[in-house]
A = this chain, B = another copy of it.
Amino acid sequence: MKCRVCREPAVVDVRRHNAAFCREHFLHHCEEQVRRAIDAHGMLLPNDRVLVAVSGGKDSLALWDILRRLGYDADGLYLGLGIGGYSGESREYAHAFADARGLRLLEIDLDDDYGYDVPRAASATHRAPCGACGLSKRHLFNRAALVHGYDVVATGHNLDDEAAVLLGNVLRWDVAYLGRQYPVLPGTDGFVKKVKPLVRLGERETAAYCVLMRIDYQVEECPMAEGNRHLGYKEVLNALEDRSPGAKAAFLFGFLERGHERFAGAADDEREALGPCAVCGSPTTGEVCAFCRLRERVGVELVRQDGAR
């Protein structure tokens, strides 16, 4: 295998692009894919203050690194989920990365700051933990960005993640979710802009990026996610990709180009029905937002803004 660009020996192949790269040109390839995603979808302006959602895994650390290399003003936010040793370890990777580079890493701890953690939320709701976890992340990253004056929240969702979510949404034809699934969601009243700059990179690529950049990341998958549907959808897509390289990218990018617009109306309808949460003031379609309802179910006592409990 030779590098597609310089014909020197290659260290990584990207079957989807029918290409292989040496170290230098692979790192350039990753940067270029992020730059293309940002340009194509108008994700970031040159002077935006960006808040990166940092988990300590390969995707979020690669994202933070690439955004800094592309010249963006990007800080990190680590959210402690309270998933035993897994969370402790992920926190260390996040801090080690930030400290070594002199970057600013904000931190929120679900238990210390909000009185619950993901395992307790899962058992209180009798549901898969991933639901409570995702809900908490969306709420708290948004809130932190608003409070600290960031223009954009950037998350490390990669091509594999997005394709798997898309498959789940399509299998159920969940038109509201399909309308909301896009690599950039504009900021609106109470919602900061959200972007997914890794949407053109597969998880094999973000892992290789970290290895080649000597970025230490948490390799272990979350122990609470085992056997969840999302991982099942990834397996299905990997089987299709094996049979026909490029199938996953064609699926996701085909949706973004020709599918998404047909569902955008369903998401707009929902957005118009938003009002402020009686507890925290966040936009919600109900009286109390899903985040505050979750905290109530876990047993946290909340104070409504009119003073009532």
Contacts and interface: CB of A to CB of B under 8 A. Distances in A.
Interface in A247-273: 247, 250-251, 254-255, 257-259, 262-263
A170 B178 CA distance: 13
A171 B239 contact: no
Contacts of A173: 250-251, 254-255, 257-259
A200 B178 CA distance: 25
B232 A240 contact: yes
Nearest to A265: B262
Interface string A124-165: 000000000000000000000000000000000000000000
Q: How many copies does the complex hold?
A: 2
Contacts of A262: 262-263
- A173, A175, A258 pick with most chain B CB within 10 angstroms: A173
B171 A251 contact: yes
A228 to B, nearest CB: 11
A243 interface: yes
A172 interface: yes
A222 interface: no
B172 A250 contact: yes
Nearest to A173: B254
A244 B228 CA distance: 12
Interface of A is mostly: helix
A240 B230 CA distance: 12
A247 B239 CA distance: 18
A87 to B, nearest CB: 28
A181 to B, nearest CB: 13
Contacts of A255: 173
A236 interface: yes
A14 to B, nearest CB: 20
A100 B240 CA distance: 44
Nearest to A263: B262
B232 A236 contact: no
A240 B236 contact: yes
A259 B178 CA distance: 10
Interface in A219-244: 229, 232, 236, 239-240, 243-244
A166 to B, nearest CB: 9
Contacts of A257: 173
Interface of A: 170-173, 175, 229, 232, 236, 239-240, 243-244, 247, 250-251, 254-255, 257-259, 262-263
Given A172-B254, A173-B259, A236-B236, 5 more contacts: A171-B254, A173-B258, A229-B244, A236-B239, A262-B263
